[in-house]
A and B are shown apart, each in its own frame.
Chain A
């Protein structure tokens, strides 16, 4: 064992260590199929040319399947994905389980302070960011300026529910196939319950009291559901009990709705002259509240890029995540497809950009709506949970869907709101007791 031999061994060892770094890494990215993500897939050349040693493998799935696959994979430490698209519903739950890598060492130009505070808060646990927001949305009112004028009503910038109901009734002309208001009715925790939770928040209700007992027997929820059922019966379209976001979008774009209250991302679609027949007639207003309640629904949804803790390519994954949610990426999208196409809702700098404001007339309202969200306390009442138009507990998907089924039966006219509320109360109490929240 002379020194030459030993140094040769050492050199071999070092070069063996160095080799994998120079080899190519392939990142498997799980994503959902919506416009902004599709756009990102088309623009990845910019990333791969700057990082020649990283290849990207895209897996596009439908939202429910994506959630199921990714959750199962992460929970069983499967390691199938290196970057996952997750919503702000999952992030806090997974972060607490240490299933996501903390993103506290992203490159400096990422500028985490530029993130819209409410969005950043929703994705952080104890101050550490666990997923990088790709786009964020709140909810708002979209209405037909021409129909409003014709009916002789007004919708102010910050309407109350009473004003909305009056306007909806005035605009309704069922024989002419114009319905005053279109709202979600399809059963599902992310479908009708997203809207109803936000509406309940704005009525001063909450899902659970501090003892984790469900609050469906309280006057606020009763008021929420009764008003919802009534306005849909008087001024809503038929078939509402199976209408989700896309169905209402189609109705509004075809000119059949007077008012539509849903995610802010819809604003881009309804004002697109290529798709919408009424693109130039749309007005916007804040999510309504009940008189005297200081809560405008508290709707916040963001699609984010997270890195599973089980990945073996953390470095490359972080590079990609930082790139895809950076200011540079927004500029890239703007240069290729105009400012309208920029992913909304995540960075304050975007909203301070005059060119963006010019191209997207609904921008300011979107920002105001997102800024008004308080994920820590979604309701005016004291709550043991965080959330927004959902409750951030793992059981919410099942409970939300079951309650959603009851409420969709209410607008299908098959049970009275009181009955639906009693069923909802019973089954939620049952689930929460089993899960151990209610002692």
Chain B
């Protein structure tokens, strides 16, 4: 009897969950479908869902017109690079603040968050001019540094929160067993911190991948990532939805695939409760 109840319950929730998921995913599904339509079909009324002339012309056009792999490479370098650099700086800081909290740790944390309060539009031109003087315009390093600095507060915050989860008793136990500071970090802390670090890393890669304000304004051609690639498809006069959909599909495909494979990591790492 109990088994049946569980099964029915499972099916009910499955249907509900799948229904909600499909509704949420629908706009993206629509974009992917539109990428296979002609421009005329893309704006047709009533909107065509599945029955239209499927064509690859948009993908051909996108491939011919712009350098997808060049942009892709730039996106990868910029997002991975800024995240790696950020983690390098943030891990020691978050560790220190989590395990040796001072009187002013809270204030420092809040101040770090407040550095993100400045709207980018207000500070755009000063930064642009600064970059110009330093010769950093259209360079991967330049954009990388900006994105790293933008996300550093978030990285520190998230790591701090994870590290706070790690129970102090384990550390004290290892200390009492005579482990040195270095051993403590390497053999006790790191294994427990890896899930947290991994998910922070993934989150930041995604944020950097989608960052569209600084990447559009500080790059021209050499360092232009996929956000520029997509933006170049918006046309002032002339229909472009199908081509834009194709470009967008090509841009989100890699990150969707990456997200699929790293799901477990992403989910497992974000533990905000007890660490068993």
A-contacting 9-mer, from B141-149, B171-179, B201-209, B235-243: B235-243
B237 and A254 within 8 A (CB) = no
Chain B residues, CB < 8 A from A183: none
A32 and B239 within 8 A (CB) = no
B231 and A246 within 8 A (CB) = no
> A69 CA to B234 CA in the complex, in Å?
16
For chain B residues 26-48, which have a beta carbon within 8 Å of chain A? 38-40, 43-45
Is residue A63 contacting chain B, with contact meaning CB distance below 8 A?
A: yes
Chain A residues, CB < 8 A from B240: 33, 246
A245 and B128 within 8 A (CB) = no
Chain A residues, CB < 8 A from B180: none
B132 and A76 within 8 A (CB) = yes
Work out how many contacts link A and B, with CB atoms closer than 8 A. 90
Is residue A426 contacting chain B, with contact meaning CB distance below 8 A?
A: no
Task: Find the A residue at minimum CB distance from B64.
Answer: A42
A33 and B40 within 8 A (CB) = no
> A59 CA to B64 CA in the complex, in Å?
15
B234 and A62 within 8 A (CB) = yes
> Which of B38, B45, B235 is in CB contact (< 8 Å) with A254?
B45
> A177 CA to B216 CA in the complex, in Å?
39
Task: Find the A residue at minimum CB distance from B44.
Answer: A254
Task: Find the B residue at minimum CB distance from A41.
Answer: B65
Nearest Cβ in chain B — how far from A276, in angstroms? 7
Is residue B16 contacting chain A, with contact meaning CB distance below 8 A?
A: no
Contact with B along A145-184 (1 / 0, CB 8 A): 0000000000000000000000000000000010000000
> Which of A65, A78, A81 is in CB contact (< 8 Å) with B132?
A78
Is residue B137 contacting chain A, with contact meaning CB distance below 8 A?
A: yes
A80 and B238 within 8 A (CB) = no
Is residue B129 contacting chain A, with contact meaning CB distance below 8 A?
A: yes
A65 and B236 within 8 A (CB) = no
For chain B residues 225-256, which have a beta carbon within 8 Å of chain A? 228, 231-240
How big is chain B's contact interface, by range?
A: 20 to 34
B-contacting 9-mer, from A100-108, A261-269, A363-371: A261-269
Contact with A along B124-136 (1 / 0, CB 8 A): 0100110010000
B40 and A266 within 8 A (CB) = no
Is residue A253 contacting chain B, with contact meaning CB distance below 8 A?
A: yes
> A45 CA to B177 CA in the complex, in Å?
74
Chain B residues, CB < 8 A from A34: 235-238
> A80 CA to B44 CA in the complex, in Å?
41
Known: A61-B232, A72-B125. A276 touches B40 (CB 8 A): yes
> A68 CA to B232 CA in the complex, in Å?
14
Is residue A52 contacting chain B, with contact meaning CB distance below 8 A?
A: no
Task: Find the A residue at minimum CB distance from B138.
Answer: A80
> Which of B43, B44, B137, B235 is in CB contact (< 8 Å) with A33?
B235
B239 and A76 within 8 A (CB) = no
Chain B residues, CB < 8 A from A69: 217, 220
> Which of A28, A57, A72, A245 is in CB contact (< 8 Å) with B237?
A245
B137 and A80 within 8 A (CB) = yes
> In the complex, which of the residues A57, A69, A177, A265 has the most CB atoms of chain B within 10 Å of its own CB atom?
A69
B138 and A32 within 8 A (CB) = no
> Which of B137, B221, B234 is in CB contact (< 8 Å) with A57?
B221
Is residue B66 contacting chain A, with contact meaning CB distance below 8 A?
A: yes
> A76 CA to B128 CA in the complex, in Å?
9
A246 and B220 within 8 A (CB) = no
Nearest Cβ in chain A — how far from B218, in angstroms? 10
> A72 CA to B66 CA in the complex, in Å?
25
Known: A41-B65, A61-B231. A253 touches B237 (CB 8 A): no
Is residue A435 contacting chain B, with contact meaning CB distance below 8 A?
A: no
Chain A residues, CB < 8 A from B137: 78, 80
Chain B residues, CB < 8 A from A249: 237-239
> Which of A59, A190, A245, A266 is in CB contact (< 8 Å) with B220?
A59
Nearest Cβ in chain A — how far from B239, in angstroms? 6
Q: Which 8 pairs between the two chains have the least Cβ-Cβ distance?
A: A250-B43, A60-B232, A62-B234, A63-B236, A275-B40, A33-B235, A62-B231, A78-B132
Query: Please, could you name 19 A-B residue pairs with CB atoms under 8 Å apart, sorted by A?
Result: A28-B220, A33-B232, A33-B233, A33-B235, A33-B240, A34-B235, A35-B237, A35-B238, A62-B234, A63-B236, A65-B216, A69-B220, A72-B128, A80-B138, A246-B235, A246-B236, A254-B45, A274-B38, A277-B40
Residues on A facing B (Cβ under 8 Å)? 28, 30, 32-35, 38, 41-42, 57-63, 65, 68-69, 72, 76, 78, 80-81, 177, 190, 245-246, 249-250, 253-254, 256, 263, 265-266, 269, 274-277
